[in-house]
Structure 1
Amino acid sequence: MTHFAFLTPPYAGHLNPMLALARTLVDRGHSATFVAQADVGAKVARPGIGFVPVGARTHPPGRLARMTARLGGTTGLFGIGGVIRDMAETTDMLCQEVPGALDAIHAGAVVADQTEPAGGLVARHAGLPLVSVANALLIDREPAVPPAFVGWSYDDSPWGLRRNLGGHRVADWMMRPLQEVVGRRARGWGLRGIETMEDCLSPTLEISQCVAGFDFPRRSPPAALRLCGPLRLPEARVWQGTAGRPNVFCSLGTLQGARRPVFEAVARACERLGLPLTIAHGGRLDAAAAAALPGTPRVESFVPQRALLRTVSAVVTHGGLNTVLDALAAGVPLVIVPLAFEQGAIAARIERCGAGVVVPLRRLTAVSLAAALSAVLERPNYRARAEALRDEIAQAGGVERAADLVERATRPRRSGG
């Protein structure tokens, strides 16, 4: 049996899929330990799953709250510089401290989020098998696929290829603080050819939560890439919707849940249409703000999301990948209001695959949202596309297939005798 060390960004959208994979591996007799700053300990506390805190000097308790606040306040490209500096400092700290932690727990393999390059660096330095997991959109570049931080449509024309190349150059410029850490650490460990985040990916196994029908077409996907669909554990909880009318669910994820104006627009739109609405704000609205929302929405900090999605007819969301994939896994069409990061790119994919409607933040009003909701509820093509993706996700294998692949990729090779 193998002891897997997990390295991932310290946010719920990355931690939760990794926890599902870790739990599945532990249930098969393996060991799993998350290695991260101390604040992450409470977030990954699960029976049978270990945690090793690192970064006491540079990432003491309380720093994650500041990082999360910066992340949650980002809109578009505004404020992204501070987020990238946080990423660079965390990667540098992990490269400094994780090798000792791997020795201490006798790790036999590393499972790393694609967006945490320390995983690939440390695994190569330690000579350990590496598995990369794309809990967000794939960072593997292709000429026809736009950068993940823009909401550009897919365009493989010569003009589109030139546009994407320019976008990737801008991305490289923005990511310089992180790339400098990657290059410096790689050179210090004698790891040749490692200069970028993409260079840190596993050559053996890359697992993605996406499925082909959702993502943009890829002409030359990495040989190591496997599309497994959402990494989720079985959920036994139930949710009782409101009978008699199509129900709507609104979530802005765990980082953007303080965006009261967005919730107000959604609530007014549902009030105009007479639709029952449930809002989940991730604990980021106070009771007074929640009570002041228009109409009579049911407002909760957290909900059993997948159980709730089985009872609704439409989802309004910022376009976080996990909420989008959960909605598609339930066959529910979406209205997406992208706010930051890769949400515009996810919205572009939903628009292209036909499973929803995009409402840009600059055009967000109760009227525009009501029109978008009416479209996805009344035009059968949106639900048909969502249901087709539901079937594709069901066939992708999910966390059990991902665990099978991890076991095969990290199984010790026997030398010939």
Structure 2
Amino acid sequence: MPVEPRHVAIIAPPTPGHFNPLQVLGGELVRLGHRVTMVHLGEAAALVDDPRIGFAAIDGRGGASLSAYHATLAAPTGPIGLPRMIRATAAMTALLLDRAPMVLARIGADAIIADAAEPAGPLIAARLERPLVGSVTGLPLLREPEVPPPFLGWRYRADGLGRFRNRGGYQVSGVLMRPIDRVLGERRRAWGIADAQPLVQVAQCPAGLDYPRDYLPASFRYGAPWRVAAPVPLDLPDDGRPLIFCSLGTLQGARRHLLATMAAACAAIGARAVIGHGGGLSAAEAAALPGDPLVRAFWPQEAVLRQCVAAVLHGGFNTVLDALAAGVPIVAVPIAFEQPGTAARLAWVGAGRVAPMRGLTQERLARSLAMVIREPGYRASARRLAAGMRAAGGAAVAAATISAALRDAGGAAATRASADSDDVRDDMRRSGSR
């Protein structure tokens, strides 16, 4: 059956960890005949480097700054950092709710992909009466009694104690997330609507990495990393030492002491660190790291990981998936967000070990690294996950799933997007976009 072209708007958190895989997914949708536009603050346009993907900026007047938001995300822990990060995220969600609908109506978007980590998307889809597709670039954010909240590093246990513990974790999560829930509740009441329900939810997460689930929505699809087809070739210097990839992602790369601990631990077991600091270190700081590591702001990490025997990561989901796709075992040093939950799942499936950041020393990290390298079960588990991801098909399969769901939804939304854009804009002007 021929595909009816759609203009798909993508709404997601404005960070590389979300924009990068969603661009790949968007590129596959373009290949299938659709038009794709990412929507956020104008500064986020710098995150879009695929010329096939459009970008539409929302009005950021009133002090909204993407650079300030990223700075807040870089310090997301502790009694001050965590509430501040949640308040900043709530403000970003409010900004999208108030200003993105006007932009989507103006550009004629007739379908919306909403990443699960940005809760504004389903409400915007309901406001505009557009078909909704859910994207999951990290762990599935689906609550179940026996599955711990994703921001906690708890192991899975299917018993009464586990359910009791998880219930408490979700209650604490609810308290912490009140600023975001308050914003969403205000808009639902003002607009007189509930969130749109997704036609389908596509995830990067492979089924083998998640905890067992009994209540997955029928619309949910596990998957594999959304990446370009061929990694960039790369020849690394060879001094005879095995290589270990070390990364704290883009937002956390300024943690010089932690990167130094990683480099020293690699040297302690006779390995050489390959460090990506995401632009967080100065040239002098990078040169001062111990153990003669190979250091860059950014590496083509898929190509690097193919040459490594292990990885030390903060648990950022994209880099974890890249390491597993290369069959590389991981030592996870989680910092915040979903990283503790990702690390716990790595340990649960046997593809890695967790080294808590609190009290981390060179010696402790070196012991964990030695174990994942020398004990074959860790690499075997990583390779088993790699095989599952290859079979899942990645972005091409996810895009085909989305395209089929939009086709089955019919052409009414596309017609409505063209016919009612003026009415939507007039209504939003009268109501002040609230």
> TM-score band (shorter)?
over 0.9
SS in structure 1 at match of 2:118 = coil
1-side partners of 2:378 and 2:50: how far apart?
A: 38
Deviation by residue 1:219-254 (Cα, 9 ceiling, x = unmatched): 111111001111111234112234433211101001
- 2:265 aligns with one of 269, 285, 299: 269
One-letter amino acid matched to 2:43:
D
Q: 1:307: how far off? A: 0.8
Post-superposition Cα deviations, 1:142-197, rounded to whole Å, max 9, x if no partner, equal: 001111111111112101101111110110110011101111111222214x5xxx
Instruction: Tell me the SS of whatever aligns to 2:254.
Output: coil
Q: What pairs up with 1:32-111 in 2 under 5 angstroms?
A: 32-58=36-62, 60=64, 63-75=65-77, 79-111=81-113
Pairing 1:208-219 to 2, within 5 Å after superposition: 208-219=203-214
Task: Give, as a single letter, the amino acid of the residue that structure 2 aligns with 1:96.
Answer: D
Which is further off, 249-258 or 38-47?
38-47
Q: Specify the code of the residue in structure 2 equivalent to 1:221.
A: L
Q: Say which SS state the counterpart of residue 361 (structure 1) adopts.
A: coil
The equivalent residue for 2:12 is 8
Which residue does 1:197 correspond to in 2?
none
Offset of residue 55 of structure 1? 2.8
Which amino acid letter does the alignment assign opposite residue 398 of structure 1?
A: G
What is the alpha-carbon distance in structure 2 between the residues aligned to residue 305 and residue 346 of structure 1? 19
Say if 2:246 and 2:276, in contact at 8 Å, map to a contact too: yes
Measured against aligned partners, the alpha-carbon deviations of 1:310-354 in whole angstroms (never above 9, x if no partner) come to 111100010111110110011100011111121111110000000
Matched, 1:413 2:410: yes
Residue equivalent to 1:221? 216
Q: CA deviation at 1:288?
A: 1.0
CA distance in 1, matches of 2:317, 2:231: 22
Where 1:137 maps in the other structure, the secondary structure is: coil
After TM superposition, give the deviation of residue 357 of structure 1 in Å.
Answer: 1.0
Q: Is the 8 A contact 2:330 2:352 kept in 1?
A: yes
With over 3 angstroms needed to count, the CA separation of the structure-2 counterparts of 1:81 and 1:354, relative to structure 1, is same
Pair 1:187 & 2:219 matched: no
* Structure 1 residues 18 and 186: CA distance shift in structure 2, 3 A: same
Map 1:244-255 → 2, pairs under 5 A: 244-255=240-251
Q: Does 1:159 align with 2:161?
A: yes
Matched residue SS, 1:213: helix
Q: Does 1:315 align with 2:314?
A: no
Of the three residues 123, 126, 138, the one matched with 1:124 is: 126
Residue 177 of structure 2: aligned partner = 175
Q: Measure, in 1, the Cα distance between the counterparts of 2:411 and 2:34.
A: 19
2:302 counterpart (300, 306, 321): 306
Give yes or no for contact 2:312–2:332 (8 Å, CA) kept in 1. Answer: yes
Which secondary structure state, in structure 1, belongs to the residue aligned with residue 40 of structure 2? strand
Structure 2 SS opposite 1:140: coil
* % identical aligned pairs: 44
TM-score (norm 1): 0.94
Which of the numbers 228, 235, 238 marks the counterpart of 2:230?
235
Note if 1:379 corresponds to 2:381: no
Question: Matched residue of 1:235: which SS?
Answer: coil
Contact 2:131/2:198, CA 8 A, preserved across alignment: no
- Preserved CA contact (<8 Å) 1:142 1:218: yes
Letter in 2 for 1:111: I
Secondary structure of the 2:209 match is: coil
- Matched residues in 2 for 1:355 and 1:45: separation? 32
Between the aligned partners of 2:95 and 2:358, the Cα distance in structure 1 is 38
TM-score normalised per structure 2: 0.91
Higher relative contact order (CA 8 A, sep 6+): 2
Distance 2:79 2:278 in 1: 23
SS for the counterpart of 1:191 is coil
User: Shift of residue 87 of structure 1?
Assistant: 1.4
Residue equivalent to 2:417: none
Cα distance change, pair 253–47 in 1 and its aligned pair in 2 (3 A): same
The amino acid that maps onto 2:323 is A
Return the alpha-carbon distance in structure 1 between the equivalents of residues 179 and 48 of structure 2: 28
Give the secondary structure class of the aligned counterpart of 1:185.
helix
| Equivalent-residue separation in structure 1 for 2:8 and 2:78 (angstroms) | 35
Where in structure 1 are there 5+ consecutive unaligned residues?
195-199
Distance between the aligned counterparts of 2:191 and 2:278, measured in 1? Answer: 41
| Amino acid in structure 2 at the alignment position of 1:284 | G
**Alpha-carbon shift at residue 78 of structure 1 (Å):** 5.1
Match of 2:138 in 1: 136
Check 1:76–1:377 CA distance in 2 against 1; reply closer, same or farther (3 A cut): farther
- Shift, 1:93, TM fit: 1.3
Where does residue 346 of structure 2 map in the other structure? 350
Separation in structure 2 between the aligned mates of residue 355 and residue 46 of structure 1, nearest angstrom: 32
- Unaligned runs of 5+ residues in structure 2 are 413-434
Q: 1:70-106: CA deviations, max 9, x gaps?
A: 1112236651111111111111111111221111111
Name the aligned partner's letter for residue 73 of structure 2: L
Distance 1:227 1:59 in 2: 38
1:370 is aligned, of 360, 366, 372, to: 366
Please tell me whether the aligned partners of residues 215 and 349 of structure 1 are also in contact (alpha carbons under 8 angstroms): yes
